Amino acid sequence: MTDLAGRVALVTGGTRGIGLATVRALVEAGATVVLTGRDEARAKEAATAAGAAAGLALDVTDAKAVSTVVRGVAKEHGRLDVVVANAGIMDDALLGMIREDAVSATLDTNVAGTLHTVQAAARAMMRKKTGSIVVLASIVGEYGSAGQTLYAASKAAVANIALSAAKELGRSGIRVNAVAPGVIETDLTAGLSEEAVAENVKKTPLGRLGRPEDVAKAIRFLVSDEASFVTGQVLGIDGGLVL
Ligand code: NAD
């Protein structure tokens, strides 16, 4: 069992789906976990249900707010060991149908939001010269996906944030990795048609869709000492799916 006793962790977008499963996995391993969500009441509710130390309101598109929350958590708990930049949105459309507001919302949330979170985490971790950051990329960021050009491009950028940040932060004792989930059963993918689900399952060697816990367990590994020499990696959590 991974031991995260004494570690302090922050998970953005932790009120549901992969984020909430990650909060639960880190709590289970003994970490003190703070989760954030866009809505304060929902964040507090999720934190109580998952055994997290606190649930705070945070919109990751707001760089100043991200910095304030991350600094606040590090100050209150005296350290910050783990940050999971999980918050993200998906707004699928064929190339010719992508709306301008979807472009800005997706890039602001997925790319800028992840960048703000990694920046703030790095600043907070730099003092103790130790820490581990995980960002949420996607299988479509590597292979591309028809009808998902915008989302896939944003996730390719997210993966690249991990690669570059890992190079910058390694000498400061901070590891940065990405996970690239395949199709995971959450609200994000609830709108997939039955045919799309069947097609994905057919193409997945492990023969099923992923569960939030599948991703959470991999994140828990990456942030733990079990992965002490792992940085700058993009780990596929996809049941072997090749798009
Ligand atoms: P989800 O929609 O259930 O959860 C996303 C969370 O992010 C929600 O809590 C939401 O409120 C939060 N969020 C969105 N915009 C935010 C903002 N501006 N500020 C703060 N929080 C915000 O989706 P999920 O499937 O759990 O996805 C979690 C992450 O995993 C996302 O980054 C997603 O792109 C990525 N991912 C998911 C899948 C999948 O198949 N579900 C596959 C690959 C990658």
Please provide the DSSP assignment of 24-35 as one string.
HHHHHTT-EEEE
Helix (H) or strand (E) holding 110: none
Positive or negative CA dihedral for 124, 31, 179, 73?
negative
Average pLDDT, the chain: 98
Ligand 1 pocket test, pick from 86, 118, 143, 237 with the greatest ligand atom count within 8 Å of Cβ, gives 86
CB 25 within 8 A of CB 217: yes
Domain that holds residue 39: 8-184+212-236
Q: Please give the tally of structural domains in the chain.
A: 1
Task: Classify each residue of 233-242 as buried b or exposed e, where b means 16 or more C-beta atoms within 10 Å of its C-beta.
Answer: bbbbbbbebe
CA 38 – ligand 1 centroid, Å: 11
Q: Which ligand 1 atom is the nearest neighbour of the CA of 187? A: 3
Domain assignment present for residue 151? The answer is yes
Domain for residue 3, yes or no? no
d(CA 235, CA 21): 18
Q: What are phi and psi of 37, to 5 degrees?
A: -150, 165
Question: Could you tell me if 122 and 133 are in contact, meaning their C-beta atoms sit under 8 angstroms apart?
Answer: yes
pLDDT in tens, 75-130: 999 999 999 999 999 999 999 999 999 999 999 999 999 999 999 999 999 989 99
> How many A from CA of 155 to the centre of ligand 1?
12
pLDDT tens digits, 31-59: 999 999 999 999 999 999 999 999 999 99
Among candidate residues 19, 151, 158, 233, the one labeled active-site is 151
* Domain annotation covers residue 191: no
> Is residue 192 in a domain?
no
Q: How far is the CA of 228 from the centre of ligand 1 (A)?
A: 26
* Res 103: pLDDT: 98
pTM of the model: 0.99
Instruction: Inform me whether the pLDDT recorded for 17 exceeds 90.
Output: yes
The atom of ligand 1 lying closest to the CA of 21 is 26
Each residue's pLDDT tens digit, 154-187: 999 999 999 999 999 999 999 999 999 999 999 9
Examine residue 203 and state whether it is found in any structural domain, yes or no: no
Asked whether residue 190 is domain-assigned, the answer is no
Q: Residue 229's CB: how many other CB atoms inside 10 A?
A: 5
Ligand 1 atom closest to the Cα of residue 209 is 40
What is the pLDDT at residue 2?
Answer: 87
Percent of all residues in the chain with a pLDDT value above 90, rounded to a whole number:
98
CATH number, residue 220: 3.40.50.720
Residues 65-73, mean pLDDT to the nearest whole number: 98
The candidate with the shortest Cα–Cα distance to 31, out of 82, 76, 78, is 82
User: Which ligand 1 atom is the nearest neighbour of the CA of 137?
Assistant: 44
143 is catalytic: no
Q: Nearest residue CA, atom 35 of ligand 1?
A: 136
Looking at residues 213-221, what average pLDDT do you find? 98
- Residue 109 belongs to some domain of the structure: yes
Name, in order, each residue with C-beta under 8 angstroms of 81's C-beta and a sequence gap of 6 or more: 4, 7, 8, 9, 31, 125, 130, 131, 132, 223
- Tokens representing residue 127 in the block: 């003092």
What distance in angstroms lies between residue 104's CA and the mean position of ligand 1's atoms? 16
Angle between helices 113-126 and 149-169 (to 10 degrees): 10
1 belongs to a structural domain: no
